Structure 1
Amino acid sequence: MTEIFIEGGRTLLGGEICEASLQISDGKISAVDSERGRRSLGIDAGGLLVLPGIIDLHGDAFERQMMPRPGVDFPVDVALIDSDRQATANGITTVFHATTWSWEPGLRSAGNARQLLEAIEALRPQLAADTRFHLRHETYNLDAEAEICQWLSEGRIDLLAFNDHMDSTVASLAKPQKRNRMVERTGLSNQEFDALVERVVCRAQDVPASIARLAKAARDANIRTLSHDDDTPDMRKAFRAQGIAIAEFPVNEETAREAAEGGDFIVFGAPNVVRGGSHTGWTKASDMIEKGLCSVLASDYYYPAQLLAAFRLAADGVLPLPRAWDLISAAPARAAGLADRGVLAPGHRADIILVDDEKPLRPRLVAVIAAGRLVHMTDTHRLIRSSVAPRKAVAVA
């Protein structure tokens, strides 16, 4: 594996931005402010920010590569390889593909969930980002419980989320546009879809016990769990009581505040920050961040959003850049239990990105190093140097 030496950049170290060099060996950061190794590839980061790679706990933009239009499918391996290129080109070095296994046929069916898991496992060695499996379990999908428990015991699931979209599904049946999109996604006729929803809703009384059994299976396997779209403080308390300590997209401030007071991680979508609000009309993420009610930002459905959101928070004066960057690097690492990444420090994975921040609201990604490998670079002639003289760290005002 190539040794790399980065110097001259404004580097995020210990919560501060300073000028420092980084030496990379065997996929890890081996030293800070050391002499350049004789065999190292030199990268001149002058004028650039040197930041920890982005960690995305919840990204489902890959679904667009699988089904760019309703009923138009592409092979799973093709979709994952293209999604990997998109993720790394936006600075994401650890990606949790949020895969929904629903009671629906089609895009979110059992078959697709199995194919995705198998494809991720097979393709991992050739993907640039550290690619992991985030299973979004629709809680009314009771027939999936036994198989999910088996996957948990085998260590095949990296994050398990509990989703309940049944109420919104039933509500959407009265809205023709939403209904049509939903039915098209499943490939069923209107009559078949209505009959399926009726059969699933009739099993509502079995859902709480299934959640409890799956939560226990995840605890036994030491797998982190999330609850999705909690809408009341009591709902958050109930999930926390079962060891589900990550609140994903709480829909109102009261629920987010309960999560914060309970010491839970709180995930919001980075697109919410970039767009200035939720596309559903729910909680405004930047307000939650300002109130200390958000600890993690995820790409959600748009891979460029995390990078853009961190710089927008800094430009808007909501958070200084080091704290904004924590939301997309160190905090998601802590939430997922990944102690080897999220910050730039000796012994940590060499997941590093170089960013041109000349235009604060339009940061430009210049280079990405993932596990010590240079996987993306622009301006090659300017960055690669045959010799680099090391410098000592100097605080940047």
Structure 2
Amino acid sequence: MFVLSGGRVLSGDGVVCDGSLLVRNGRIEGILPDSAAAPDGARVLDVGGALILPGIIDLHGDAFERQLMPRPDVHMPMAVALMETDRQMLANGITTAYHGLTWSWEPGLRGREAARTFIAELARLRPHLGCDTRLHLRHEIANLADEPELTALLASGQVDLLAFNDHIDSIRRSLDKPGKAGAYAARTGLTVPALYALIDSLLEQRSEWIPSQARLAAVAAEHGVAMASHDDPSPAFRQEMQAMGCTISEFPLDAETARAARDMGSPVVLGAPNILRGGSHCGRLNAAEAIGAGLGTVLTSDYYYPALLLAAFRLAQDGVCYLPDAWGLVSWNAADAAGLTDRGRIAPGLRADLTVVDDSLPECPRVQATFVNGHCLFNALGLRAQSVSGKTAVAAA
């Protein structure tokens, strides 16, 4: 049992209030007035006026790929990459993470063998990871050959979120751009001519992609796996995906499609790096503008873990929305989208997944501590335990 005291708490109803937060057995027990004494036997941590926020929930992050392959065709051990990624996420306030694993028709980094190894290593290492790390399987729908294996994987309960991707046309176009073909080929381990030939053979099977996708969606629905459609290009496409059970719209390409998704009641997932950069790196929907118009409901790290924390404060600083609403984009809205009912808010009975943030420099907020299920797994405060008046306290060193 411990108390986070001397801070400002973002409560479950979206209000920031002065007070202390009581945590018992890994669960939030309640918010105490600053004047209230800590219960007997509680450890007390004075956070010195910092914000006490729900831990960040990242529904789509694939920056771990840079730990796996920091340079083209340069591979690092899977366990090392996952453990290092875990440290990065905790230091950035992420307490629940859905690793966006692409299972593609490509060999190499995003291919079948790499995906199998990743899933096995994630299962083996999960007890050693601080962040509650889950699997977001990104299925490239041109990958017909692996449908039976993916069906079994969905039925096994190892997949927490399924997204349907179709990047083959954009990859094919990119191969024709100067300097791009070699980079893509290096990622796959194929020669450039072999990569062209593989894509051409898959395009000949295009008529079979949607029926295969529908079969996989039915299996996912049967086993309660949340589903997303990726890069929705139009309202009509979003309607088709919604009918298939893909209730999350991930990175819609334009405002019209995002509005259609919201009209259907679908969460709309956008990238936090888009906020920091002032727009999309590939000329698509501007995330800040979409959120300001009520079209974006969830932010994800996408390819940069620090972006989630920074983007929420950037939105508040730029006047796009108030900080509690901005923080909802990375916490309770994400929990609701994924069907997580035990976290995402600071409310009695929920998991004590928390991040303590120093916002004295609003343009560059810093995580001071991260708690997952009541355990302090990142600590930048230099804390030590002390005995005070028969109680155990934690104070800054």
- Classify the TM-score, shorter chain: over 0.9
**1:84 maps to what in 2?**
86
Q: CA RMSD in A?
A: 1.6
1:8 pairs with one of 6, 31, 51: 6
Structure 1 gap ranges (5+): 389-397
**1:283 maps to what in 2?**
285
Q: CA deviation at 1:19?
A: 1.1
Q: CA deviation at 1:386?
A: 4.6
Quick check: 265-274 or 146-155, which moved more? 146-155
Q: CA deviation at 1:279?
A: 0.7
**1:220 maps to what in 2?**
222
Answer whether contact 1:44 1:384 (CA < 8 A) is retained.
no
2:260 pairs with one of 251, 258, 261: 258
* Cα distance in 2, alignment partners of residues 258 and 378 from structure 1: 43
TM-aligned CA distance change 1:328 to 1:386, over 3 Å:
farther
Higher relative contact order (CA 8 A, sep 6+): 1
TM-aligned CA distance change 1:330 to 1:188, over 3 Å:
same
Quick check: 369-378 or 297-306, which moved more? 369-378
**1:366 maps to what in 2?**
368
* Cα distance in 2, alignment partners of residues 286 and 20 from structure 1: 31
Q: CA deviation at 1:11?
A: 0.3
Matches within 5 A, 1:157-168: 157-168=159-170
Q: What secondary structure is seen at the aligned counterpart in 2 of 1:103?
A: coil
**1:330 maps to what in 2?**
332
Amino acid at match of 1:307: L
1:228-257 deviations in Å (ceiling 9; x for gaps): 001111110000011111000001111111
* Cα distance in 1, alignment partners of residues 22 and 43 from structure 2: 10
Amino acid at match of 2:222: D
Amino acid at match of 2:341: A
* Cα distance in 1, alignment partners of residues 387 and 227 from structure 2: 47
Matches within 5 A, 1:1-397: 3-13=1-11, 14-33=13-32, 35-381=37-383, 386-387=387-388
Quick check: 145-154 or 232-241, which moved more? 145-154
* Cα distance in 2, alignment partners of residues 291 and 114 from structure 1: 41
Answer whether contact 1:90 1:303 (CA < 8 A) is retained.
yes
Q: What secondary structure is seen at the aligned counterpart in 2 of 1:116?
A: helix
Structure 2 gap ranges (5+): 390-397
Answer whether contact 1:270 1:305 (CA < 8 A) is retained.
yes
Q: CA deviation at 1:146?
A: 1.0
Q: CA deviation at 1:37?
A: 3.5
* Cα distance in 2, alignment partners of residues 108 and 28 from structure 1: 38
Q: TM-score, normalised by structure 1?
A: 0.95
Q: CA deviation at 1:35?
A: 4.4
Across the two proteins, how many residue pairs are aligned to each other?
A: 387
* Cα distance in 2, alignment partners of residues 281 and 173 from structure 1: 19
* Cα distance in 1, alignment partners of residues 162 and 37 from structure 2: 43
* Cα distance in 2, alignment partners of residues 258 and 277 from structure 1: 21
* Cα distance in 1, alignment partners of residues 226 and 298 from structure 2: 15
Q: CA deviation at 1:149?
A: 1.1
Q: CA deviation at 1:36?
A: 2.2
Q: CA deviation at 1:83?
A: 0.1
The percentage of counterpart residues that share the same residue type is 48
Q: What secondary structure is seen at the aligned counterpart in 1 of 2:179?
A: helix
Answer whether contact 1:43 1:385 (CA < 8 A) is retained.
no
Answer whether contact 1:136 1:160 (CA < 8 A) is retained.
yes
Answer whether contact 1:4 1:41 (CA < 8 A) is retained.
yes
Amino acid at match of 1:367: A
* Cα distance in 1, alignment partners of residues 57 and 5 from structure 2: 23
Q: CA deviation at 1:351?
A: 0.5
* Cα distance in 2, alignment partners of residues 102 and 87 from structure 1: 25
* Cα distance in 1, alignment partners of residues 129 and 48 from structure 2: 29
* Cα distance in 2, alignment partners of residues 156 and 241 from structure 1: 24
1:53-81 deviations in Å (ceiling 9; x for gaps): 00000000000000000100011111000
* Cα distance in 2, alignment partners of residues 104 and 59 from structure 1: 20
1:147-194 deviations in Å (ceiling 9; x for gaps): 111111111100000000011011112102222211110111111111
* Cα distance in 2, alignment partners of residues 125 and 285 from structure 1: 35
Answer whether contact 1:42 1:386 (CA < 8 A) is retained.
no
TM-aligned CA distance change 1:221 to 1:159, over 3 Å:
same
TM-aligned CA distance change 1:385 to 1:319, over 3 Å:
farther
Q: What secondary structure is seen at the aligned counterpart in 2 of 1:176?
A: coil
Q: TM-score, normalised by structure 2?
A: 0.95
Q: CA deviation at 1:144?
A: 1.4
Answer whether contact 1:43 1:384 (CA < 8 A) is retained.
no
Answer whether contact 1:297 1:328 (CA < 8 A) is retained.
yes
1:349-392 deviations in Å (ceiling 9; x for gaps): 001111110111100111111111011111225x866549xxxx
Q: What secondary structure is seen at the aligned counterpart in 1 of 2:49?
A: coil
Answer whether contact 1:9 1:20 (CA < 8 A) is retained.
yes
Q: CA deviation at 1:41?
A: 2.4
